[in-house]
Every structure is written in structure tokens, then in C-alpha cells.
A and B are shown apart, each in its own frame.
Chain A
């Protein structure tokens, strides 16, 4: 089973700042099948990024994903108030399709 470790656990930033979230895998993720999701309180997760770097439909271009192998990054270039939420990475290259433990992005 691939274990995904996200860092930091909590990130405190201000609107307009740049956010960099990390997701590290315990072994190489096949075909870079790595997705990022955003979750707000009381809501289901929302797909942001798939294939490590492809934005899902309707996702603003301030969200970008990068990385390969075992190290992946989600970058939000300029934080908007609605971006403060919890972010999860998930690998879907091999079963079980594990999630990271999440990074909470909070307003400073």
C-alpha cells in the first residue's frame, strides 16, 4: 500500500499570498496518477487536479499541480478568500487508492 504524507499539516497564510502544499509518496506513483481535492466544512471533496498537473474542468488557473514519482506539489498562486479549506492528495495508480492525511489552509 502506498502511504501519502502531506505537509505541512496546517498552513497559515493571508489572501493574495502564494500557497505551496506537498504530498510525498512512500513509493513511486504509477503513471503519476496523483489527484488533489479541496474540501470545505460540510461539503464533499471537489476535484482540483488529476494526473499530477492537469486542472479539472472549471478550476481556476491559480491552482497548479506539479511533481512526479514520489514528490508532488499543489500551488495556489494568489490566495482568494474561498481557497481556505482542507486539501487532500490521492494516488490512483495502484490499489488501494490511498489519500494523504490532508493539509488545512487557514487564514492568518
Chain B
């Protein structure tokens, strides 16, 4: 069965960077695009970007351009999301989510990783 297992919670200081991992299993890693979505406490869902696991190409939300980097390691079927220059507004649960097919809707989700930015 498809599983997306994310790394554990992080506490970071403002200005630092965080790198969250998402290890995929139960399917052919290169066949499906992966997205990152975040959710601030008590708030809605925010789409962050997408990575093509085959080519490594990415597309990011404009709001995060310049601060977010998504990468993948095909040898371990893992995708990564790194966010730099952290500020308090980046405190959120970060989810990786896999497309169901090539259309873009998200059928499989990781368990979420809480990133807390606090001095």
C-alpha cells in the first residue's frame, strides 16, 4: 500500500532553515508528482509547490519563491522540502501529498511534520 512517512517535528529560530523529508513506499516513486502543502495553526491549507520525481523539476508558489527548495533522492524514494529564512509565520504543519494520477489531485498524504519557529 502507498505510504508517505515524514520526518519528525522541528523547532527552529527565526532566520534559520528547516529541511523536511517524505519517504515514499508501495508504488513506483518516479511515476507520480509530489506536492507540499502547509497548514498554520487553526488555519486552512496552503499549496507550496510540486516536484517531478523523475526530472527533479519544480514549481513553487510565488509567495515562497526564493525561500523554498524541493528536491528528491530517487535512490531512497524520498522527497525533501527546505524552507529558509524562517519567520514566525512559517510555523505550521507541513504535508507531502502524492497525486493520484497525472492530473494534480492529492490522494495520498503524509502524516504531517510540525515546524515551530520561535526565538
Which A residues fall within an 8 A CB radius of B?
1, 33, 35, 37, 39, 44-47, 50-51, 56, 88, 90, 92-93, 95-102
Contact = CB atoms under 8 A, between A and B. Distances in A.
Contact of A92 (B46, B59, B103, B109): B103
Nearest to B112: A44
Contact of B50 (A44, A97, A100): A97
A3 to B, nearest CB: 12
Interface string B94-119: 01010010011111011110000000
Interface string B45-68: 111001000000001011000000
B76 to A, nearest CB: 22
Contact of B105 (A35, A39, A95): A35
B19 to A, nearest CB: 20
Given A47-B100, A56-B107, A97 B47 contact: yes
Given A1-B62, A44-B95, A44-B110, A33 B104 contact: yes
Q: Tell me the interface secondary structure of chain A in the complex.
A: loop
A102 B100 CA distance: 22
Of the candidates A44, A47, A100, the one having the most CB atoms from chain B within 10 angstroms of its own CB is A44
Contacts of A97: 35, 47, 50, 104
B47 to A, nearest CB: 5
Contact of A96 (B47, B97, B105, B110): B47
